[in-house]
Structure 1
Amino acid sequence: MLDLHRLRLLRELKHRGTLTAVAEALSYSPSSISQQLSVLEKEVGVPLLEPVGRRVRLTEQAEILVAHTEAVLEQLERAEAELAASMSGLTGVIRVATFQTAALALFPDALTLLREEHPRLRVQVTQTEPETALPALLARDFDLVISEEYPGNPNPRYAEIEQEDLCEDEIRLALPRRLGETLAGTDLADLAALADHPWVMEPAGGEPRQWAMALCRNAGFEPDVRFESSDLLLHARLVEEGHAVALLPDLVWSGGPPAEGVVLRSLPSDQRRRRLTTAVRRGGGRHPAVRACREALRRTAGTSEAGAGANQPGADI
């Protein structure tokens, strides 16, 4: 009989990449992880790891074991969900990962709803970007992740993850007021009128930056990105002070309308909205804590979406 604990260590290695990362995540020493995997190799009678430089990778037989381990863990997720559903009252801990604008616009009200309706449920929220959070969900660091998908740039689909739509969020061109007034009669459909102006964008490598760069390049120019930050409140401030042009989602303004120094203009219809989703490990969507959290977020998103749309000035392009 194969040992599930050792199989989970092998699975952790697949998702985290190194023995050191597995050891840090599980509070073991790397040598202890290595010893346990050596025992597993003896149990199955075939090599499970092969060296690649200073790292190791899983053999074909190890990948087979990991696939079956995923199936076992999915079934255990379902068992845990059924057990929780059989109990009166919602208790325990749910660990949620979200990115900045969703954290600011959705979570305060969602947490209020959860506190009122499920006072014994402990909700732990971590702000991190989806490209980091989704692999961490697979590694069981989180129970639920809020993710985003930009127009024409679909996210990778993981077979082990269940996703559910949360809401859509319109993205608009944010201009300093003086520039917005200067370009008031200009057709900005291709954004080319902004080719000579400085931009603020999110750091290179992430989906928001890839989408924004593609949008500008499709309009025929390479944007002058002078400022990089994952903090969209800083983006808004730089626009307000006249230092940059930005592409900002409506959720940035959930606390109130844009400042007087900011003019918003709509993007072309096929590039206007990003899609927000909630993601859980396959089998975990039935857990009462996950269902309660998703419901609170849906209710909050409905309110935020309606409020955000009502506050936006600027003509459609």
Structure 2
Amino acid sequence: MLDLKRLRLLRELQIRGTIAAVAEAERYSPSSVSAQLALLEREAGVPLLRRAGRRVVLTAQAETLVGYADELIATMERAESALAASRTEVTGTVRVAVFQSAALALLPGTLRSLADRFPQVRVEMVQHEPESALHETWAGDFDVVVAEQYPGHATARYPGLVWRELMSDAIRLAVPSVWQDVSGLAGAADAPWVMEPPGAACRHWGEQACRLAGFEPDVRFETADLQAQIRLVESGNAVGLIPDLVWAGRDRTVRLVELPGNPRRTVFTAVRASGDERPAVVAVREALGVTAAGITGK
């Protein structure tokens, strides 16, 4: 009979690409992972791995097994959710991945609410960029991800993830408060810009917005830290495109200029469908929704 733990390691290898990455994710040594996969290969009676240079890749038979492993792991997660739902208390650990501005605006109120209503729920939070956090939630590293989607920029969809919108917020041009002559995006064409590093959805969206306004932004500063972006704008060193959520619970210290079409960003949660009904996960998503509604007034 095939061992489910070893099947999980084979699935991890398909997702992560190398034995070393699987070992790091599963907190094993690379030699232990290799040994377990060798045992699985003997159990299966067919070759599961083949050498490709210095790496190993999955054979066609291994890819078939991974498909069944996905189903088995999802079934186990649904079984665990059903057992948890049968208990009278909501308990358990929920691993949450969240991007910075959502962590600052949503997590404090969410955690207070959970502590009051569900004291046996333990939340472990990691600040993570949305693009990679969605993939890692699909892979099983997190139970809940709080992510974002910019207008006209579709976020990657992973099979088996269930999305739920939390809120939307306006995106505006932030300029130093003393810059009273800037009335639109084109007015900042000659200014130094701060944006997130290349590859981020908001960077791609921001550059496209500037190009539609007829100019290429002079991006002199790159940081994923929106607090650092705001400081650069406050101090008169840059302009930037800032979503409204960043101002939750703090004074607006820059001048905000409306953008053409009044674009809005969508903030959402995603969980694996197999764990969607686990009571602790339900409690976390509901608490996030209540906190978001308090911010937006909806």
Q: Does 2:267 correspond to 1:268?
A: no
Which AA in structure 1 matches 2:235?
Answer: E
Distance 2:72 2:115 in 1: 33
Worse-matched range after superposition: 208-217 or 115-124: 208-217
Q: Provide the TM-score with structure 1 as the length reference.
A: 0.90
Distance 2:138 2:48 in 1: 21
Deviations 1:64-96 (A, max 9, x none): 211111111111111111111100111121111
Q: Does 2:39 correspond to 1:45?
A: no
Distance 1:176 1:56 in 2: 53
Which AA in structure 1 matches 2:60?
Answer: E
The 5 Å alignment of 1:128-277 reads 128-179=128-179, 181-184=180-183, 188=184, 191-259=185-253, 262-269=254-261, 272-277=263-268
Check whether the contact 1:94–1:143 (CA below 8 A) recurs between aligned residues: yes
Shift in Å, 1:197: 0.7
Check whether the contact 1:174–1:247 (CA below 8 A) recurs between aligned residues: yes
Distance 1:279 1:144 in 2: 6
Distance 1:22 1:138 in 2: 15
Q: Secondary structure at the match of 1:220?
A: coil
Which AA in structure 2 matches 1:273?
Answer: R
Per the alignment, residue 31 of structure 1 pairs with 31
- Please point out which of 262, 272, 288 is paired with 2:279: 288
Q: Secondary structure at the match of 1:203?
A: coil
- Please point out which of 274, 283, 289 is paired with 1:298: 289
Which AA in structure 2 matches 1:266?
Answer: E
Distance 1:61 1:165 in 2: 39
Per the alignment, residue 279 of structure 1 pairs with 270
Per the alignment, residue 105 of structure 1 pairs with 105
Distance 1:298 1:76 in 2: 27
The 5 Å alignment of 1:11-30 reads 11-30=11-30
Per the alignment, residue 80 of structure 1 pairs with 80
Shift in Å, 1:192: 2.7
Shift in Å, 1:235: 0.8
Q: Which runs of 5+ in 1 are unaligned?
A: 308-317
Check whether the contact 2:166–2:288 (CA below 8 A) recurs between aligned residues: yes
Distance 1:58 1:33 in 2: 14
Distance 2:252 2:245 in 1: 11
Per the alignment, residue 9 of structure 2 pairs with 9
Which AA in structure 2 matches 1:303?
Answer: G
RMSD: 1.5
Worse-matched range after superposition: 81-90 or 126-135: 126-135
Distance 2:168 2:177 in 1: 26
Q: Which runs of 5+ in 2 are unaligned?
A: none
Check whether the contact 1:15–1:135 (CA below 8 A) recurs between aligned residues: no
Shift in Å, 1:52: 3.0
Shift in Å, 1:193: 2.7
Shift in Å, 1:233: 0.8
Percent identity, please. Answer: 53
Distance 1:173 1:266 in 2: 6
Shift in Å, 1:219: 2.3
Q: Secondary structure at the match of 1:178?
A: coil
Q: Secondary structure at the match of 1:106?
A: helix
